[in-house]
Amino acid sequence: MKPASLLILLVLIISTHFQIYAQEKEMSKSLKSLTSMGWTNHDKHSIDSMANTMKRINSLIIVKNDTMVYESYFNGFDPNTDYSNIKSGSKSILNILVGIAVQEGFIQSIDQTVFDFLPEYFKEGMDPRKKQISIRHLMTMQSGLEPTSLDKYSAWVASEDWIAYALELPLLAEPGSLYGYSTGDTHLLGVVLAKAVGRSALEFAQEHLFSPMDIHVDQWTADPMGYHEGGNNIFIKPADYAKIGLMIKHGGKYLDKQIINKEWIDDSIAFKVEPHGISRPFPIDGYGYLWWLIDASGFKTYCGIGFGGQYMMTIPELDMIIVLTSQYRGSAPSQHFTDIATLINDFILAPFIK
């Protein structure tokens, strides 16, 4: 080998080594303390103390400037063996999967309709306007179908065919005209995804999202027909959930891999619709494509949010990601949500409020 070629090869090897090292540091637990990132020792003690009073919290992770600066687990949660069910935080992951399916050409446009993929479910005599329901409508909870969430959820999941049940519900408004939070909408979206890619949503996710990011998902529950729940019940390790937040923050890139294109991410976390009838412990600024837009102590934030207190919050102005997961079984007491808001607003974010 010529000396020049050998030199180029050596430079490439050294460059690659340092590139991998730098990338792997992104989600390494930092040797630096919170105090190097804007918090005092008193602030850290206050965060620890507050979190330890919360009987339903499982995990709290803070990533600042691409560095994990805080990672704690509570109430017997073991990060080595336990997984958090992020509940409706799964909807934001579904958004990523749909974006990848568009990027890879499995879905031509988010204006394609449910009817395009599931024509067999549109029976004679069904309201013809239902054929207008598009992927876009499902991602903004504007199908117009009667929602299946909240007090309607139990009857829906008790049915033998969740797809038929959701599509046969009354159409309350023209598709695209009325927001109505509904896990039925995202379940239809998950089925559309599976039909489009020709395999299960979980298999597609493993190939295009989880495996490339070295994320292990314990389970993603399925309906009686075998379709994974599009907008619910992904069991993931909290630190891996933070990885997804980091990837979104970097415009769809994690380490040296472009998981999804930046344009999809930017569009998804932008305001699309004003949600109605949903109570959260933070003021709501809007809803994107399956992402919540909220205000946390005056900072604009985009979030994946799930039942019972599952949060993955990204605060661009502070270059900060907060992952908080909780026990989800049974109805979470309102005090838990008050405590979440107090922990985040009054303890984690307080040092940064001007």
Q: What pLDDT, in 10s, does the model give residues 3-15? A: 444 443 433 333 3
Q: State residue 35's pLDDT score.
A: 83
Q: State residue 27's pLDDT score.
A: 52
Contact criterion met (CB below 8 Å) for 181 and 278:
yes
C-beta atoms surrounding 246 within 10 Å: 20
Say if residue 262's pLDDT is above 50. Answer: yes
Question: In which region does residue 196 sit, left (phi positive, over 0), alpha (psi from -120 to 50) or beta (all else)?
Answer: alpha
Across the range 137-147, mean pLDDT stands at: 97
Q: Give the tens place of pLDDT for each residue, 195-239.
A: 999 999 999 999 999 999 999 999 999 999 999 999 999 999 999
- 29 within a domain of the structure (yes/no): no
- 10 within a domain of the structure (yes/no): no
Q: Residue 96's domain is classified under what CATH number?
A: 3.40.710.10
Q: Which amino acid is at 155?
A: A
Token pair listed for 221: 């529950």
Query: Binning pLDDT at 50, 70 and 90, where does residue 259 land?
Result: very high
With pLDDT > 90 as the criterion, what percentage of the chain qualifies?
82
- 27 within a domain of the structure (yes/no): no
The total number of structural domains that make up the chain: 1
Q: State residue 36's pLDDT score.
A: 84
- 32 within a domain of the structure (yes/no): no
The pTM for the full model equals: 0.90
Contact criterion met (CB below 8 Å) for 240 and 216:
yes
Say if residue 185's pLDDT is above 60. Answer: yes
- 141 within a domain of the structure (yes/no): yes
Q: Where are the beta strands (DSSP E) in the chain?
A: 57-64, 67-73, 84-85, 217-220, 234-236, 253-254, 257-258, 284-287, 292-296, 299-306, 310-315, 320-326
Residue 341 CA, distance from chain mean position: 19
Q: Where are the beta strands (DSSP E) in 131-190?
A: none
Instruction: Identify which has the larger pLDDT, 241 or 328.
Output: 241
- 204 within a domain of the structure (yes/no): yes
Across the range 303-313, mean pLDDT stands at: 95
- 212 within a domain of the structure (yes/no): yes
Angstrom distances, CA of residue 290 to CA of 45, 106, 136, 140: 35, 20, 10, 6
Domain that holds residue 210: 48-352
Say if residue 312's pLDDT is above 80. Answer: yes
Say if residue 88's pLDDT is above 60. Answer: yes
SS3 296: strand
SS3 346: helix
* Termini Cα distance of the chain: 60
Which DSSP category does 348 fall into?
A: I
Q: Give the tens place of pLDDT for each residue, 18-70.
A: 332 233 445 555 545 788 899 999 999 999 999 999 999 999 999 999 999 99
- 25 within a domain of the structure (yes/no): no
Q: State residue 150's pLDDT score.
A: 76
